[in-house]
């Protein structure tokens, strides 16, 4: 006998588990299937984000930043640390505990919201507009049916064709978060978000980090002025970043891995690393879903093809998160999950792609929302720019963290905010004000006229807004 639900969600990452909770809140009988296993083969819902992504990377970024501060920044505050020691085992164990707390939290939320959880792999058996049959292959095999199916099967790390991940020497994000001794020389291929975040973690705890990037420009999706500042700061910290390289042969040895590449001047180079992280983007995951068996359409890049409302080509089958087009971000997946559950309920779920914030959790952090200066130029939109350096912000000075700036871009005529770009302390938190402002289609003058607490980093946001009209008060 198969169990029947109104809504079945395949995948329990941020897209899937949030969709399931919202569907249950809306009164649907809901199930969520997720196959992720913890070290004891038990369920570990939360997907990439919780298990090998957002959460563990931020745990290690925090720990390694504390270590770096204790070693280098505390003395300036008059705090003398003697006998500073790295206990990497404890650092990794703390990260694992935080991951488990998040896994358990999701299982608790499923119970609280009456979402039925299945631990195993879900795949389509058959179906049409009247309902779908889904097989769950786990410890036991089950068959479930549902009127609506939401696919949220996420993504996997992209490997280089000549260097499959072994997670010992050649590491994806999974291995990069679990290196059990600090490598003397760490190679990173790809200077994107993962490369910079994980490169920062391992540099802070003592690795000599070399980042090899194919593109001639650094962080090409980031506003150029901010990316330039970031490049300067990261290289000063000790990350060695080579742009415009062409990766050639990659040869793993017994204890190290040799990377041959051509540098930006066309010279052949060879480097030997104790570990190599390959972070060159991610690919959508539809493995084992039996998409082809039920005629679920994929696009030419392997993503599940969806329209603006996350509808697939099959009636009542929806897809959200990393497995569909758009930025691969946890909060984008969550927004789509909520919107789809609401659309199933006949409501008008909505995701505003123009106000999805991006954050890179390096030190300093980089965060932005909306258009970059280079995008505005390319689109021929007339704009005004204003920026304010953290150097001139009292709170940043008190923190001892004065690098970076806040930058506003506003429409030349209407003054509507078109983009906000931050590199600096707590940029991840500061960006929220800009997101709210843009969601309400505020002008830079609106922000300039709002009272901001003193002393706070957010005053730099207000000052950057004032700078759009060339009337900064503190710079």
Q: Across-strand partners of 144?
A: 3, 134
* Residue located via tokens 């204003």: 386
The window from 25-33, 185-193, 380-388, 460-468 that contacts ligand NAI (CB under 6 A) reads 185-193
Stated as kind and residue range, the H or E segment containing 212 is strand 208-212
Comparing CB distances to ligand NAI, the nearer of 237 and 428 is: 428
Q: How far is the CB of 328 from ligand FAD (least distance, A)?
A: 4
Task: Write out the two tokens for 91.
Answer: 């650092």
Comparing CB distances to ligand NAI, the nearer of 149 and 276 is: 276
Active site residue 69: no
Residue 154 lies near ligand NAI (rule: CB under 6 A): no
Q: How far is the CB of 386 from ligand FAD (least distance, A)?
A: 28
Task: Write out the two tokens for 206.
Answer: 């003592």
Q: Which of 195, 284, 321, 337 binds ligand NAI (CB under 6 A)?
A: 195
Residue 329 lies near ligand NAI (rule: CB under 6 A): yes
| Binding partner of 34, given ligand FAD, ligand NAI, none, CB within 5-8 angstroms per partner class | ligand FAD
What 3-state class would DSSP assign to 331?
helix
Half-sphere exposure of 81 (CA within 13 A, CB side): 15
Task: Write out the two tokens for 110.
Answer: 């499923």
Asked whether 403 and 394 are in contact (CB, 8 A), the reply is no
Q: Smallest Cα–Cα separation from 193: which of 229, 215, 219?
A: 219
| Binding partner of 191, given ligand FAD, ligand NAI, none, CB within 5-8 angstroms per partner class | ligand NAI
| Binding partner of 360, given ligand FAD, ligand NAI, none, CB within 5-8 angstroms per partner class | ligand NAI
User: What are the E-state strand segments in 289-370?
Assistant: 317-319, 358-360, 365-370
Comparing CB distances to ligand NAI, the nearer of 296 and 426 is: 426
Q: Smallest Cα–Cα separation from 8: which of 176, 124, 101?
A: 124
Q: How far is CA 246 from the centre of its chain?
A: 26
Q: How far is the CB of 33 from ligand FAD (least distance, A)?
A: 5
Asked whether 266 and 258 are in contact (CB, 8 A), the reply is no
| Binding partner of 12, given ligand FAD, ligand NAI, none, CB within 5-8 angstroms per partner class | ligand FAD
Angle (nearest 5°) at CA 70 between 65 and 73: 85
Residues near ligand NAI (CB under 6 A), total: 24
- DSSP states of 191-210 as a string? -SHHHHHHHHHHHHTT-EEE
Comparing CB distances to ligand FAD, the nearer of 33 and 169 is: 33
Q: For residues 35 and 255, give the distance between their C-alpha atoms in angstroms, rounded to a whole number.
A: 32
Residue 33 lies near ligand FAD (rule: CB under 6 A): yes
Q: For residues 198 and 83, give the distance between their C-alpha atoms in angstroms, rounded to a whole number.
A: 26
What 3-state class would DSSP assign to 215?
coil
What 3-state class would DSSP assign to 361?
coil
Q: Which of 8, 16, 229, 342 binds ligand FAD (CB under 6 A)?
A: 16
In sequence order, the 6+-apart residues with CB closer than 8 A to the CB of 204 are 64, 65, 67, 68
Q: Which of 281, 293, 302, 400 binds ligand NAI (CB under 6 A)?
A: 281
Q: For residues 421 and 225, give the distance between their C-alpha atoms in angstroms, rounded to a whole number.
A: 9
Residue 243 lies near ligand NAI (rule: CB under 6 A): no
Residue 201 lies near ligand NAI (rule: CB under 6 A): no
Residue 57 lies near ligand FAD (rule: CB under 6 A): yes
Comparing CB distances to ligand FAD, the nearer of 319 and 396 is: 319
Pairing state between β 170-171 and 185-189: unpaired
Q: Which of 190, 321, 424, 425 binds ligand NAI (CB under 6 A)?
A: 190
85 CB burial (10 A radius; 0-12, 13-18, 19+) = exposed
Q: Which of 19, 150, 320, 360 binds ligand NAI (CB under 6 A)?
A: 360
Residue 335 lies near ligand NAI (rule: CB under 6 A): no
Binding mask 280-319 for ligand FAD (x = CB under 6 A): -----x--xx------------------------------
Q: How far is the CB of 402 from ligand FAD (least distance, A)?
A: 24
Percentages helix, strand, coil for the chain (3-state, rounded to 5) are 35, 30, 35
Residue 328 lies near ligand NAI (rule: CB under 6 A): yes
Q: For residues 153 and 363, give the distance between their C-alpha atoms in angstroms, rounded to a whole number.
A: 31
Binding mask 123-162 for ligand FAD (x = CB under 6 A): x----------------------------xxxx-------
Which residue in the shown chain puts its C-beta closest to ligand NAI?
A: 192
Q: How far is CA 94 from the centre of its chain?
A: 21
The window from 36-44, 179-187, 274-282, 451-459 that contacts ligand NAI (CB under 6 A) reads 274-282
Residue 338 lies near ligand FAD (rule: CB under 6 A): no
Give residues in contact with ligand FAD (CB under 6 A). 10-16, 33-36, 47-49, 53-54, 57, 121-123, 152-155, 173, 194, 285, 288-289, 321-323, 328-331, 333, 361
Q: Which residues are catalytic?
A: 454
Give residues in contact with ligand NAI (CB under 6 A). 160, 189-195, 197, 212-215, 247, 279-282, 327-329, 359-361
């Amino acid at each position: 006998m198969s169990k029947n639900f109104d809504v079945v969600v395949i995948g329990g990452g941020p897209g899937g588990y949030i969709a399931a909770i919202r569907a249950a809140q809306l009164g649907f009988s809901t199930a969520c299937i997720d196959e992720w296993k913890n070290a004891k083969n038990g369920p570990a819902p939360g997907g990439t984000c919780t298990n090998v992504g957002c959460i563990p990377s931020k745990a290690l970024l925090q720990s390694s930043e504390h270590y770096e501060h204790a070693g280098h920044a505390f003395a300036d505050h008059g705090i003398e640390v003697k006998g500073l020691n790295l206990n990497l085992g404890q650092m990794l164990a703390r990260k694992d505990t935080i991951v488990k707390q998040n896994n358990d939290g999701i299982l608790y939320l499923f119970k609280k919201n009456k979402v039925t959880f299945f631990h195993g792999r879900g795949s389509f058996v058959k179906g049409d507009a009247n309902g779908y049959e889904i097989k769950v292959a786990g410890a036991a095999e089950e068959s479930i049916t549902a009127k609506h199916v939401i696919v949220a099967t996420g993504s996997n790390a992209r490997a280089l064709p000549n260097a499959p991940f072994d997670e010992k020497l050649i590491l994806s994000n999974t291995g990069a978060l679990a290196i059990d001794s600090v490598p003397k020389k760490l190679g990173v291929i790809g200077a994107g978000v993962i490369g910079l975040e994980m490169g920062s973690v391992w540099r802070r705890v003592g690795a000599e980090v070399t980042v090899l990037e194919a593109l001639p420009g650094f962080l090409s999706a980031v506003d150029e002025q901010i990316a330039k500042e970031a490049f300067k700061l990261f290289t000063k910290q000790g990350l060695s970043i080579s742009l415009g390289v062409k990766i050639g042969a990659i040869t793993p040895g017994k204890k190290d891995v040799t990377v041959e590449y051509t540098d930006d001047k066309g010279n052949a180079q060879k480097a030997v690393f104790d570990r190599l992280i390959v972070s060159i983007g991610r690919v959508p995951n539809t493995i084992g879903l039996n998409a082809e068996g039920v005629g679920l359409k994929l696009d030419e890049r392997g993503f599940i093809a969806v329209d603006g409302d996350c509808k697939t080509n099959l009636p009542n089958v929806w897809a959200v998160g990393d497995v569909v087009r758009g930025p691969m971000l946890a909060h984008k997946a969550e927004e789509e999950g909520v919107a789809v559950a609401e659309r199933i309920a006949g409501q008008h779920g909505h995701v505003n792609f123009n106000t999805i914030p991006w954050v890179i959790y390096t030190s300093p952090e980089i965060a932005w929302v909306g258009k970059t200066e280079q995008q505005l130029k390319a689109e021929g939109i007339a704009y005004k720019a204003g920026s304010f350096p953290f150097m001139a912000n009292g709170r940043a000075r008190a923190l001892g963290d004065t690098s970076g700036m806040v930058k506003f871009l506003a429409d030349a005529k209407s003054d509507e905010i078109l983009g906000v770009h931050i590199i600096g302390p707590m940029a991840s938190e500061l960006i929220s004000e800009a997101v709210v402002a843009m969601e309400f289609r505020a002008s830079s003058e609106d922000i300039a006229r709002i009272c901001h607490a003193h002393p706070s980093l957010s005053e730099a946001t207000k000052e950057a807004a004032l700078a759009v009209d060339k009337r900064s008060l503190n710079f």
